[in-house]
């Protein structure tokens, strides 16, 4: 089971703003990363280290974080932003490092 | 251009074995942590294992410890996942992923995935 909690689904009108949240204790110590996945494709990194965008990711994607909650915001959502979005962070127990993912949020653009 | 190409997937009976390979290009393979991440049908991604640049540190999700082994050959720029004692619940698309440097090492690039089906 995921130790990062995400809302299962959210919808947004074309051109409007949507925020997706991710909650978990690991986020108090480690940065969240966000991935976009479209059907039949591999995930793509869209935000990392709170609010860095890899090359090629539109600036309508932004991230923020506070306490145990990280957020991904799409400002001016486009039809091509309809996808599943997953958050991820590291976690550490003693000397053991692991990675955790949220169960994902499906974004529908109306 | 970073490319990660997985191979070795297929169908196997419960209790069987498979070895996945991931050929990397477009970056200095020996300088980065690498990982395997899997995704069962209709589910979200699940991290499986990660390996340090020199192969001397490895981490696994609890459910595969003792059954799966991650390894790498930096001269061949290839990442491996040896999977033994396979179970139905290991059925998934397995992705090879390059980790970024720093910033808590996000999964920066992903391969196209290799499907592993465990079924009798």
Q: Is B44 within 8 Å of A103 when comparing Cβ atoms? A: yes
Give the pLDDT score at A41: 97
Give the pLDDT score at A2: 54
Give the pLDDT score at A82: 98
Q: Is B95 within 8 Å of A98 when comparing Cβ atoms? A: no
pLDDT tens digit sequence for B25-77: 999 999 999 999 999 999 999 999 999 999 999 999 999 999 999 999 999 99
CA distance A83 to A34: 12
Farthest CA pair distance, chain B = 43
Please give the helix or strand (H or E) that residue A39 lies within, else none: none
- The tokens describing B67, both together, are 């059954």
Where are the strands (E) in B1-120, listed by range?
A: 3-7, 10-12, 18-25, 34-39, 45-51, 58-60, 68-73, 78-83, 92-99, 107-110, 114-118
Average pLDDT of chain A, as a whole number: 95
Looking at the predicted structure, is the pLDDT value of residue A1 above 80? no
B 37-66: CB under 8 A from A: 37, 43-47, 50, 59, 61
Identify any residues that bridge with B96 across adjacent strands, giving them in sequence order.
B36
Give the pLDDT score at A42: 98
Nearest 5°: the CA angle A106, B2, B7 is: 80
Collapse the DSSP code of B6 into the 3-class scheme (helix H, G, I; strand E, B; otherwise coil) and give the result.
Answer: strand
- The tokens describing A12, both together, are 């947004």
- Sign, CA dihedral B18-B19-B24-B29, equals positive
CA distance B82 to B101: 25
Q: Which residues of B touch A35 (CB under 8 A)?
A: 45, 107
Looking at the predicted structure, is the pLDDT value of residue A72 above 60? yes
DSSP label at residue B28: -
Average pLDDT (A4-25) is 97
Looking at the predicted structure, is the pLDDT value of residue A84 above 80? yes
Looking at the predicted structure, is the pLDDT value of residue A50 above 80? no
- Please count the residue pairs, one from chain A and one from chain B, whose beta carbons lie less than 8 angstroms apart: 63
Of the candidates A90, A97, A101, which has its C-beta nearest B44's C-beta? A101
Give the pLDDT score at A97: 87
Give the pLDDT score at A86: 98
């Amino acid at each position: 089971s995921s130790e990062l909690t995400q809302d299962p689904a959210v919808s947004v009108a074309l051109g409007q703003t949507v925020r997706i949240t991710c909650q978990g204790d690991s986020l108090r110590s480690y940065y969240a990363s966000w991935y976009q996945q479209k059907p039949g494709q591999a995930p793509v990194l869209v935000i990392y280290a709170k609010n860095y965008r890899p090359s090629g990711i539109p600036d309508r994607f932004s991230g923020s974080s506070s306490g145990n909650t990280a957020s991904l915001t799409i400002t001016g959502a486009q039809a091509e932003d309809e996808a599943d979005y997953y958050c991820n962070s590291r976690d550490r127990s003693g000397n053991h490092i692991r990675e955790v993912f949220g169960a994902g949020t499906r974004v529908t653009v109306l | 251009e970073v490319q990660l190409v997985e191979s070795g997937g297929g169908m196997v009976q419960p209790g069987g074995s498979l070895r996945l390979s991931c050929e990397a290009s477009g970056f200095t393979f020996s300088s980065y942590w690498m990982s395997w991440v899997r995704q069962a049908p209709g589910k979200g991604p699940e991290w499986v294992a990660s390996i340090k640049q020199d192969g001397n540190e490895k981490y696994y999700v609890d459910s595969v410890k003792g059954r799966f082994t991650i390894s790498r050959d930096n001269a061949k720029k290839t990442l491996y996942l040896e999977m033994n004692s396979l179970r139905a619940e290991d059925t998934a698309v397995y992705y090879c992923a390059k980790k970024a440097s720093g910033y808590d090492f996000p999964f920066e690039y992903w391969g196209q995935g290799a499907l592993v089906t465990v079924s009798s």
